[in-house]
Amino acid sequence: PVRRAAPRRAAARAMGAGKACAPLGSDEEKTSLIDSTKVFVFDCDGVIWKGDSVIDGVPEALAYLRSKGKRLFFVTNNSTKSRAGYLKKFTTLGLDVQAEEIFSSSFAAAGYLKQQGFPEDKKVYIIGEVGIVEELDLAGIKHVGGPEDAGKKVELKPGEMLVQDPDVAAVVVGFDREINYHKIQMATLCIRENKAEFIGTNPDAVTHLTAEQEWAGNGSMVGAIKGSTNQEPTIVGKPSQFMLDYMAKEYGISKSEICMVGDRLDTDIEFGNAGGAKTLLVLSGVTTEGTLLSPDNSIKPDFYASSMPELTKLA
């Protein structure tokens, strides 16, 4: 999958180059987009919420789309929670969402391994949090590392060495607030010596952990392992097509009837463009209008708006 990533991204950017990249303004444009779309796929951070705060107007906008018979899915690159964990967050924020409507990159990692026929007698080494653990458990996949390796220190005494589990056949690198040198070394040993597959949940440079500022994203964790192994990971979250392909197959959806709504050009919009979906960029998260319209930007959506609720604001 990694070796196909560059051509696929090039294709996505080529598709984006022909997009209108128009501000979503008139009622006619909004109605046309809604009427021509059967499924809306939303990113979460920066689109539905920021940190632990729902973006104004989101509950009403989701209710409006449901009233029009639209199917809604929520896709997040954040791997710290499982689908069950994200359901709790939606519920706590007062959003009416069902578990089967949620797709996290932790779910994508487990789904990818299952789809690849990961051997029952092999294990996954985790850099990441409880979301990956829970999804691997649900998939019946053995694992080591993750939260159980939090706090472990490497003292580098004379003769000290770490010994990796020889049964580890894959390393999953997700967002990890407890990342440490022990985890980096164990992942490196598994990939370099066990020839384990290197899987990244997502390549995001920054993430919205709080509403006050952007925080270093999973790209920093994946980057550490890329640096120590000289290998590129298989990415299972956006912009990889794994989750979009799964949705289309599982629910019998034509990708041309999907609209991807997100705040990131290089993940959300590229994800939609590569799959042949309609794309709507919202400026309530990472991307500014200046960045979008810059001549240096080659990734273009069909439309853009200040926030997701603008889609359903009709005169």
Measure the N-to-C terminal CA separation of the chain; round to a whole number of Å: 46
Q: Which of 103, 168, 169 is nearest to 131 (CA)?
A: 103
Half-sphere exposure (CA, 13 Å, Cβ side) for 243? 33
Half-sphere exposure (CA, 13 Å, Cβ side) for 131? 30
Q: Is 167 a catalytic residue?
A: no
| 295 to 121, 202, 217: CA distances (angstroms) | 51, 26, 26
29 by DSSP, 3-state: which? Answer: helix
Q: Is 43 a catalytic residue?
A: yes
Cα-Cα-Cα-Cα torsion 53, 56, 57, 61, nearest 10 degrees, comes to: -50
The residues that bridge with 278 in the sheet, in sequence order, are: 259
- Asked if 172 contacts 201 with a C-beta cutoff of 8 angstroms, the reply is yes
Instruction: Pull the structure tokens for residue 116.
Output: 């690849």
What φ, ψ does residue 118 adopt, rounded to 5°?
A: -55, 130
Plot region of 178 (φ>0 → left; ψ -120 to 50 → alpha; else → beta): alpha
CB-count exposure of residue 2 (10 Å: 0-12, 13-18, 19+)? middle
Q: Which of 301, 257, 297 is nearest to 282 (CA)?
A: 301
Q: Which of 35, 43, 52, 245 is catalytic?
A: 43
Q: Which of 45, 149, 204, 263 is catalytic?
A: 45
Instruction: Pull the structure tokens for residue 155.
Output: 């003292």
| Spatial CB neighbours of 156, under 8 Å, sequence gap ≥ 6 | none
Enter the DSSP assignment of 45. B
Instruction: Pull the structure tokens for residue 121.
Output: 């007698």
**Residues with catalytic function:** 43, 45
